[in-house]
Chains A and B, each alone.
Chain A
Amino acid sequence: MLLATEPFASMDEKAFPAGTPLREILRADSAVREYGNGEIVLRKDDYGTSAFLVLEGEVDVVIKPDIDPRDLGRSPRVKKNFIKRLSQLWGNNPEPEGWGNKSPRASDSIKGSVNGKMASVYLQDWPRIVSGSKTVALGEGELFGEISALSRMPRTATVIASGDATKLLEFSWEGLRDIMRYDPALKNRIDTIYRRNSLKSFLSHHPLFRHLDEEGFVELCNAAQLETFGEYNWSGAYQRMLKDGDPTTNASEPVIVREGEYSNGIYLIRAGFCRVSQKYGSGERTLNYIGAGSVFGYEVIAKQWDNPALGMDSVYSLRSIGYTHLIFIPTSALEKFAKRGLSQEEFPSSPLPEITSRSGKKEAVEEGDEPPARLMEFMAARRFLNGTQSMVIDMDRCTRCDDCVRACASTHDGNPRFLRHGPIIDNLMIANACMHCVDPVCMIGCPTGAIHRTSFGGEVVINPSTCIGCGACAANCPYDSIRMVEVRSSQGEFLVDEDFQPILKATKCDLCVEQTSGPACQNACPHDALIRTDLTNVTPLAKWLRRK
């Protein structure tokens, strides 16, 4: 039936190899899903690995203004006032994971909209909810969610089913990739959408190109090349690697630029991470790792602009760690469109570690102040460079008193939300606490959108009311930072569903978003042994380690 509908009907089945025929791709990597009126298909800012094709009915894409996060199943995170904070002294539930009926979590307004068995969330009275928003209707044969799925970027809009029997074909990103490989029409269609919307928006904010006019952007977007390296599902591969042994080799990482090769353009990192390394003896030494927003290769070209006698060979190697999505701008396009004479603030970050001074000026780290190469290798090998709020413990100072754990429990209804345990390098432990990742793998595949980023600080939090305990986030988290717990009544009895199965909820560190004093763990450490730090840039950690 699917092969008779567009766009598959127009595809040339003979263009697909015998080993992966179109029919098999659709069978293995897609599923027809039926949505009810007002059911949320996608939420803005969620992460997902699938794209959708409208088979029957219609969906509404909410453009502006966005729907209230509470209606989408996200918890309203408000800071506790003094009385509420003080009441934690006597009000915490004595039972572990005790959920009294009076718990604000249970009275959340969205609870009635969640269908746990169907793993779906409905917008109650959705015409009223979206009445003030600009929406675009997508009908049969239209595709959506493909850019986010292919580039591992967050969804850019909320999509709601607007009919009682809306049928959508959900593709996995692998299926979409395979079809694009053998069907040039679909590839061109998606490529055009990407260049017109996502790429233009990205480049127009970049200091190198923000001066361009409309025509310039069109030309630049056409010249830009989109490249991806590494394994899309890097967390699965990483977890396998951990099981097999210590992941300390960079030999398996795909090389994007090799040291000594001619630099024929610059790479803008859109998503994921890369390792910057340089030959040292008979091996390679990691100098830095860089993530989304970083530029690689600009310095060599800019220096050559200033002094044409200089060579254009790359000074460093660039490798993909996990999965990386990059935009390559060829030198010819760069010469034509890039702004020359950038100010210090506008100049793209160096691929080497930098520090930002109090005045906001970026400065190269002085010799001898660089983070130790061993630490850098460890962070990259263990993928800790993904964390924006990682819990790092200096074991030379930590007295193992567990004040941090107790403080966490005190601020979370008596339940600690992390383990003071984790991998150790030298005197540093990276504890099993949510790192609030740049690439939050845990958010991929949450059926109800219960795990989400807060709109204010960007912390990754879970709305307990909409969490159906499926465990997808806990299974996805490569760092073992999410725990599934069996919830209890305030009398200590385990809560069970109608099949007498225990009710599970996902729990993790929420960085004390409801407290006004910041992360309780860090504040509770008397020995200055614990810090929540951004490991996407290892320099602040290196500075912290040098403290006295």
Chain B
Amino acid sequence: MAKKEVELSRRRVCNIVFTSLLMAGLVAAYFLVAPAFPRHAYLSGWVLFAVMLLLTFFNLRKKVPFLRMGSAKFWLQMHIYVGIFSGALFLVHISWTWPSGIFYQIFSLTYVVVFVSGFVGLWISRSFPKRLTLAGYETPFEKMPFARAKLREDAEALILTGVDGQTAPVLAEFYTKQLGIFFTKPANLWAHLRGSRGPQVAHTTQFDEVQRYAKKAEIVMLDGLRDLVDQKHMLDFQYSLQLSLRLWLFVHIPLSYSVLVFSVLHIVLVHSFSGAVS
């Protein structure tokens, strides 16, 4: 077993070492060789453009699963390490200087956001699934509205049932004022994202408070309601993390295409005016 772990982690070490060497080589070349070639930015620019195309192809590969283009697992690994390398290449290309001019500033900022969002996404993708699994109450994202509606129906049915054929005004008021909206829509998303148990504790306190005014039969009802509130918290936790696992892509992917568009414009501009520069 230990042997296997070493073998497999060796793959990761190899990838990191190879990428690091490549980046170090690139930086060394920039400082040692580049001064002799004033137009090196053309080379680094075109290589960077090719790298960006390669990185963007990962998303295209997902659209054509029926073509033999390698497994997505391989593409993601390549995407991560080539993406990291692109950072060094970008720095070399801009000569370690933040560009001036509104166009180039927006272009560079877009690239930086894509680069950083990639890292954020990687962290989210590696850490959130474990938290989701540990928490339990696994629910597919598209089924969450139905699960939420079901919990609300169950909670309302519980309150409407009443106690001994009569309504329980204290519980009804508690539900209407404290829990009605909670059961209607996703709640405490940011708290769940941070892993805070604040909202659960707050509800526990509220339940304890109401329990002081409840009859024996109402306490049974409250326990049922507590159970539903716990389930709603778990559902909200799932929603919060699963939403984040999707949302970061809405930043990363559209901006990646923006970077490509900016790159094409940049190439056109550079080659249009390169005669004047030379």
> Are B133 and A396 within 8 A (Cβ)?
yes
Contacts of B128 in A (CB 8 A): 399
Contacts of B140 in A (CB 8 A): 400, 420-421
A398-B129 in contact given A366-B1, A525-B72, A548-B5 (Cβ < 8 Å): yes
Contact segment of B57-65, B147-155, B226-234: B57-65
User: Contact size class for A?
Assistant: 35 or more
Q: Does B191 reach chain A (CB closer than 8 Å)?
A: no
User: How does the 8 Å CB contact mask read for B120-161 relative to A, with 1 for contact and 0 for none?
Assistant: 000011001110110000101100000000000000000000
Q: Does A20 reach chain B (CB closer than 8 Å)?
A: no
A401-B245 in contact given A410-B65, A520-B65 (Cβ < 8 Å): yes
Q: How far is the CA of A114 from the CA of B104 in the complex (A)?
A: 68
Contacts of B5 in A (CB 8 A): 546, 548
Contacts of A86 in B (CB 8 A): 64, 66-67
Query: Smallest CB–CB gap between A489 and chain B, Å?
Result: 24
> Are B8 and A396 within 8 A (Cβ)?
no
Contacts of B72 in A (CB 8 A): 403, 523-526
Q: How far is the CA of A543 from the CA of B65 in the complex (A)?
A: 26
Q: Does B4 reach chain A (CB closer than 8 Å)?
A: yes
Q: Does A89 reach chain B (CB closer than 8 Å)?
A: yes
Q: Does A368 reach chain B (CB closer than 8 Å)?
A: yes
A527-B76 in contact given A424-B138, A548-B5, A548-B9 (Cβ < 8 Å): yes
Query: Smallest CB–CB gap between A434 and chain B, Å?
Result: 18
Q: Does B49 reach chain A (CB closer than 8 Å)?
A: no
User: How does the 8 Å CB contact mask read for A53-96 relative to B, with 1 for contact and 0 for none?
Assistant: 00000000000000000000000000010100110110000000
Q: Does A197 reach chain B (CB closer than 8 Å)?
A: no
Q: Does B97 reach chain A (CB closer than 8 Å)?
A: no
Query: Smallest CB–CB gap between A94 and chain B, Å?
Result: 16
Q: How far is the CA of A401 from the CA of B128 in the complex (A)?
A: 12
User: How does the 8 Å CB contact mask read for A33-48 relative to B, with 1 for contact and 0 for none?
Assistant: 0000000000000000
CB contact between A85 and one of B67, B71, B75 (< 8 Å): that residue = B67
> Are B63 and A400 within 8 A (Cβ)?
no
> Are A546 and B66 within 8 A (Cβ)?
no
| Chain B, range 1-55, C-beta contacts under 8 Å to A | 1, 4-5, 8-9, 11-12
A515-B66 in contact given A395-B132, A400-B132, A424-B138 (Cβ < 8 Å): yes
Contacts of B67 in A (CB 8 A): 82, 85-86, 517
Q: How far is the CA of A496 from the CA of B17 in the complex (A)?
A: 62
| Chain A, range 368-421, C-beta contacts under 8 Å to B | 368-369, 395-403, 406-407, 410-411, 420-421
Contacts of A410 in B (CB 8 A): 63-66
Q: Does B246 reach chain A (CB closer than 8 Å)?
A: yes
Q: Does B212 reach chain A (CB closer than 8 Å)?
A: no
> Are B62 and A403 within 8 A (Cβ)?
yes
Q: Does A516 reach chain B (CB closer than 8 Å)?
A: yes
A546-B63 in contact given A395-B138, A396-B133, A526-B72 (Cβ < 8 Å): no
Q: Does B258 reach chain A (CB closer than 8 Å)?
A: no
Q: How far is the CA of A410 from the CA of B61 in the complex (A)?
A: 12
> Are A401 and B246 within 8 A (Cβ)?
yes
Query: Smallest CB–CB gap between A525 and chain B, Å?
Result: 6
Q: How far is the CA of A410 from the CA of B66 in the complex (A)?
A: 7
A368-B1 in contact given A400-B129, A420-B140 (Cβ < 8 Å): yes
Chain A CB within 10 Å, residue with most, of B12, B71, B76, B128: B71
A400-B141 in contact given A427-B133, A526-B76, A527-B76 (Cβ < 8 Å): yes
Residues of B within 8 A of A (CB): 1, 4-5, 8-9, 11-12, 62-68, 71-73, 75-76, 124-125, 128-130, 132-133, 138, 140-141, 242, 245-246
Q: What are 21 inter-chain pairs, A to B, with CB distance below 8 A?
A: A85-B67, A86-B66, A86-B67, A397-B129, A399-B128, A399-B129, A400-B132, A403-B72, A427-B133, A516-B68, A517-B67, A523-B71, A523-B72, A524-B62, A525-B73, A526-B73, A526-B75, A528-B73, A547-B4, A548-B9, A548-B11
Given A86-B66, A411-B66, A524-B65, output 17 extra A-B contacts at Cβ < 8 Å.
A86-B67, A89-B64, A395-B138, A397-B129, A399-B124, A399-B125, A400-B245, A403-B72, A515-B66, A520-B65, A523-B71, A526-B73, A527-B129, A547-B4, A548-B5, A548-B8, A548-B11
Residues of A within 8 A of B (CB): 80, 82, 85-86, 88-89, 366, 368-369, 395-403, 406-407, 410-411, 420-421, 424, 427, 429, 515-517, 520, 522-529, 543, 546-548
